[in-house]
Chains A and B, each alone.
Chain A
Amino acid sequence: MRVRKMLFVMLAALVLISCGGTKQADVIKVGWFGALTGDQAVWGNNEYKTVQMLFEEMNAAGGIKVGDKTYKLEVIGYDNKGDAQEAVNVVRRLTSQDKVVAILGPNASGNAIPIAPILEAAKVPDIATVATNPKVTVLDGKVKPYNFRVCFIDPYQGAVAAGYAYDVLGARKAAVLYDVADDYSQGLREFFNQNFKAKGGQIVADESFKFGDVDFRPQLSKIKASNTDIIFMPYFFKEVALSANQARELGITQPMMGGDGWPSEQLISMGGAAVEGCYFVNHLDYEDPDVADYKARYKKKYGVDTELNGYLVHDAVLMLVEGLKIAGKVDGEALAKALEKVDFQGITGHVRIDPATHNPTGKDAAILKIINGQYVFQQKYAAK
């Protein structure tokens, strides 16, 4: 009895799964995926809400004009828990059943890399938000035709951080604490170390923790004894706040520096005095009027502050709209070609895609310093 019931349910499930949505003529379907649950959920929810908000705003303004027709935009978003295997599942679903014309996200490089073959088979382009691993768009020297991104990449960010620390802050000895189980952290650490050493600096401590750890004092005590000029912390704001607090507790007074995992309103509330006077590399300057406008709209609509991912997915949406206008038709293949030609002013800087790498070119990194609980813009800084 139960066996038969189960078989029936499974059959019904197969049928349900295999019938896709119906196609509407005047709507452009765009996919989004990322982590709505799991430990990356903060960033995923922020991206998804931003996309929803922007699409609503655009539709309320009459939609967008592609070719000589006006379309409304619709987002179909799926949760992948930040899991690579689920990323593959949802991209298969978005391309084969929902028949989206393009996909926005994900934020994690490890989720953006395995979806490339599916995108190529389905001819649907993807614009990743903060996936900074070079291998997201280029593999074995060849550019992946359907993978794009709006952010700068790890080697660049690592070079900026090392350059700024050495040239501007005058650090000669650096200690690094990184998350060994996280791809972003490991990538950034590698390129920081490489560039800092190339400039003539010395890495006096290279310590790691493992994702999920909440106590960093053993590593920090070691760093304290290393007599460093600066501490580089390439990981996300929650761990940054915890480790910064613990470092100050241990009597470490050196400035700390980080990457684009840092910026969040929560870093200030969690880190407080511990992160005062610290520096980080960012994609944008928060005092920029365009940035402030989006930030205020988001806060007004959802009652919480946006995270960094929101700004980048904002520009991914702009990039998509630009691409559609250039393509002149709603077609994944044409869109992928058009995305190589986009050239527009986003809130994170001017975006121009390099056809050889599918990375945005000429986006200078912004260096921000935390002063009195505010992110104070220091300068635009390009790695030399």
Chain B
Amino acid sequence: MDAYLEGILILSGINLIAVMGLCLLTGFAGLFSFGHAGFMAIGAYTAAIFTKMLGLPFVFGIAASAVSAAIVSWLIGMATLKLKGDYFCIATLGFGEAIRLILDNFQGLGGSRGWPGIPASSTLLNIVILDIIGVVLIANLVRSRHGRNMIAVREEELAAQVAGINTYKYKMLALVISAAYAGVAGALLGHYMTFIQPKMFSMVKSTELTIIVIFGGLGSISGSVIGAVVLTFLPELLRVVDKWRLVAYGMAVIAIMIGRPRGLMGGFELTPASFRKLFAERKAAREIKAASRLYSDDDSAQGAGR
């Protein structure tokens, strides 16, 4: 395969894993994080310690990256999950920057000059396998009782609490799982780039991931999958417009927000059953449209608001 295409597919796959976790946190539990690049950094450095320093197989590195990011997120969660909306947001922002600052200062792992020579163990094949495992796990989780409880927390926290749902527990669950996913994504990224540097895990990276989740549609796993692929390809396609690239990207983000605020697939899942439903709906929709012209796309599905 063409090396360029392969490279972007690999990056899509890596982003997809991180986005999957964020999809749970933001899309299902309704928490907004600015610090997931920090969890990626933890994963990337932990995995590199296992493979490059200790010489262990990549699988151990991946497992360790998930565990380490999860533990750190649990500690962060204990301190901050009781905070509301923007305050949690700022706490994650501070956390992400703090991780970078620690890594910048830590000369043993290269400091801000980075750590080269990490084995090139990430391949398209193992990334696709991990993607599939990741999607299946999340899909099963959100369809379980826990997933429904999370949605309840997102939609109306107070009501969920009254109904006897331990909101703190579900927020924590979402945070820890999403951090573990981010950790794995970081490990894969490090072993794809063969080089890691704290600079790679900036706040911009965290924001990009969140933008993908929103673009794909809150609370839609298939939306996140499509979003990860599309938004990894988009900047590459926009290369033709040179330095106008990010101008176009900024406009596109606003356009998506105001044009299709539920995102690409808000609240909608791509499954064989939904395909049949989609076509049936569209047929019905065409009929209704022909009759009244009142059909509006935005009213047809549930909103993701709270």
Contacts and interface: CB of A to CB of B under 8 A. Distances in A.
B126 interface: no
Contacts of B111: 183, 186
Interface in A112-133: 113-114, 116-118, 121-122, 133
By size class, the interface of chain A is 35 or more
B4 A92 contact: yes
Interface string B91-115: 0000000001100110000011110
A181 B198 contact: yes
B237 A17 contact: yes
Interface string B103-134: 01100000111101100100000000000000
B26 interface: no
Given A96-B3, A186-B112, A6 B195 contact: no
A86 B245 CA distance: 13
A14 interface: yes
Contact of B105 (A36, A116, A122, A180): A180
A282 interface: no
Contacts, number: 126
Contact of A18 (B5, B113, B189, B197): B5
- Interface SS, A side: helix
B233 interface: yes
A357 interface: no
Nearest to B240: A16
Interface residues of B, number: 46
A181 B99 CA distance: 12
B197 A183 contact: yes
30 contacts: A1-B282, A2-B260, A3-B265, A6-B226, A6-B264, A13-B237, A16-B237, A17-B4, A17-B8, A17-B237, A79-B245, A84-B114, A84-B195, A88-B193, A90-B239, A93-B4, A93-B236, A96-B2, A96-B4, A109-B113, A114-B195, A117-B120, A118-B3, A135-B116, A139-B116, A140-B117, A182-B112, A183-B111, A186-B111, A210-B104
Interface of B: 2-8, 11, 100-101, 104-105, 111-114, 116-117, 120, 189, 192-195, 197-200, 226, 229-230, 233, 235-237, 239, 242-243, 245-246, 260, 264-265, 270, 278, 282
Interface of A: 1-3, 6, 10, 13-14, 16-18, 20, 36-37, 78-79, 81, 83-86, 88-90, 92-93, 95-97, 109-110, 113-114, 116-118, 121-122, 133, 135, 139-140, 180-183, 185-187, 210
Across the A-B interface, the 3 shortest Cβ-Cβ residue pairs: A114-B195, A96-B3, A183-B113
